[in-house]
A and B are shown apart, each in its own frame.
Chain A
Amino acid sequence: MRLFRSNIFLWCLGIALAIQVYIAFETPIGGSFSDAATLAMNGMQDVTPVKATLVSTDSSGATFTDLYGQPGHVQITNRSYGSFQSYKKRDVLVISVAYNLAAKSFDLVEVVRVNPMMTFPMIQGLGELGRNILLHVPMAMVAFIAFLIGTIYSIMFLIKKDFEYDRHARAASAAGLLFTILATVTGSIWARFSWGTFWNWDPRETSIFILLLIYAAYFMLRSLLEESEDKKARIAAVYNIIAFVSVPFLMFVVPRITQSLHPGGGGTEAPVVNLSGQTHTDRTLLNMHWVSVVLFLFVFLWIKDMYTRILRLEAKRAEEA
């Protein structure tokens, strides 16, 4: 692809990725007053960030409306850092509050951000870990697209018998395998802090493990076959097509029909890809997630392009020898 021969494009991609990582870690998380109360009552979280609009200030604190329009009064106590005096009416604040179970009121812990450009939602049970949605989910999605592209090239190779398609198929599957490994690693670290262990044999974890084995076998098959280059490529192409048949089943069907720790398991509605065609995810988080998907897709295409060129160089060298 000519796009990846341009240094300017590659630098732009690098800078865009750096900005995306910065946004993923820097954007404040802000929930509602009801999130703060529920999390405190369940003993899950003492202090919760709340995104709220300042309505009025008084001697004991200030009154806010949260992102759902629910009113709430936040008190200044001796454990509060700062006050509300310097803020104007209608300022949007992200404030860390502690729910006082006895008084059923909110105590200010600190003001996190004033009029933030954007905020991510407070996903109950995830907290700050929810940011990983911008890394883990796009990586898994790009892995699926990579395997799909690899399969299309394998079909093209079987039809046209052009080795260039075989090189593209091999490169796309290799990059797909890399993104599957990255999705597994980021998911595993996430699982350690959300569910307690690195690996739970959850249906989605089990299916990604099977997927890793299937595609690892594709590369083992290629390297172990002692046939001619043409026969080797044809066998690998057929295997690649058969391997992809299992991908939608393992990635979309199995985790949805079985009980799962992941969202959307056991017949519950999945946040994005579901049968009702509705999205149950915060719009800002979803938009930033699609930005991540596009950026990772470009990284995938770059890796695929480089590997295809390496394979082309190897083929040329073999021809010359």
Chain B
Amino acid sequence: MEFLEHHALYVVGIISAVIWLGLFLFMFGTERRIRKLESSK
């Protein structure tokens, strides 16, 4: 708990960076799937 209190900002920063990265990879994957569907039409 003491570690979290002292490094709260970094912990939040890492969590948000991971969420951003996850969202971005998800959107990239969706973009790729849409392109595949568009090219197959």
Is the pair B27, A303 in contact by a Cβ cutoff of 8 Å?
yes
Is the pair B37, A313 in contact by a Cβ cutoff of 8 Å?
yes
- How many angstroms between the C-alpha atoms of A26 and B17 in the bound complex? 12
Is the pair A309, B12 in contact by a Cβ cutoff of 8 Å?
no
Closest-CB distance, A29 to chain B (whole angstroms)? 10
Whether A14 is near chain B, meaning CB under 8 Å from some CB there, is yes
B1-41 interface with A by 8 A CB criterion: 9-10, 12-13, 16-17, 20-21, 24, 27-28, 30-31, 34-35, 37-38, 41
**CB-CB < 8 A to A21: which residues of B?**
13, 16-17, 20
Whether A17 is near chain B, meaning CB under 8 Å from some CB there, is yes
Closest-CB distance, A318 to chain B (whole angstroms)? 13
Is the pair B34, A17 in contact by a Cβ cutoff of 8 Å?
no
Q: Contact residue range for chain A? A: 10 to 19
Whether A316 is near chain B, meaning CB under 8 Å from some CB there, is yes
Is the pair B9, A309 in contact by a Cβ cutoff of 8 Å?
no
**CB-CB < 8 A to A309: which residues of B?**
34, 38
Given A306-B31, A313-B41, A316-B41, is A17 in contact with B24 using a C-beta cutoff of 8 Å?
A: yes
Closest-CB distance, B17 to chain A (whole angstroms)? 6
Is the pair A18, B20 in contact by a Cβ cutoff of 8 Å?
yes
**CB-CB < 8 A to A306: which residues of B?**
27, 30-31, 34
**CB-CB < 8 A to B28: which residues of A?**
10, 14
Whether A201 is near chain B, meaning CB under 8 Å from some CB there, is no
Whether A210 is near chain B, meaning CB under 8 Å from some CB there, is no
Is the pair A302, B27 in contact by a Cβ cutoff of 8 Å?
yes
Given A25-B12, A128-B9, A316-B41, is A18 in contact with B17 using a C-beta cutoff of 8 Å?
A: yes
Residues of A within 8 A of B (CB): 4-5, 10, 14, 17-18, 21-22, 25-26, 128, 302-303, 306, 309-310, 313, 316
- In the A-B complex, list the 10 residue pairs whose CB atoms are closest, starting with the nearest: A25-B13, A14-B24, A309-B34, A313-B37, A21-B20, A21-B16, A306-B34, A306-B30, A21-B17, A128-B9
**28 A/B residue pairs, CB under 8 Å, sorted by A:** A4-B31, A5-B35, A10-B28, A10-B31, A14-B24, A14-B28, A17-B20, A17-B24, A18-B21, A21-B16, A21-B20, A22-B17, A25-B9, A25-B10, A25-B12, A25-B13, A26-B13, A302-B31, A303-B27, A306-B27, A306-B30, A306-B31, A309-B34, A310-B34, A313-B34, A313-B37, A313-B41, A316-B41
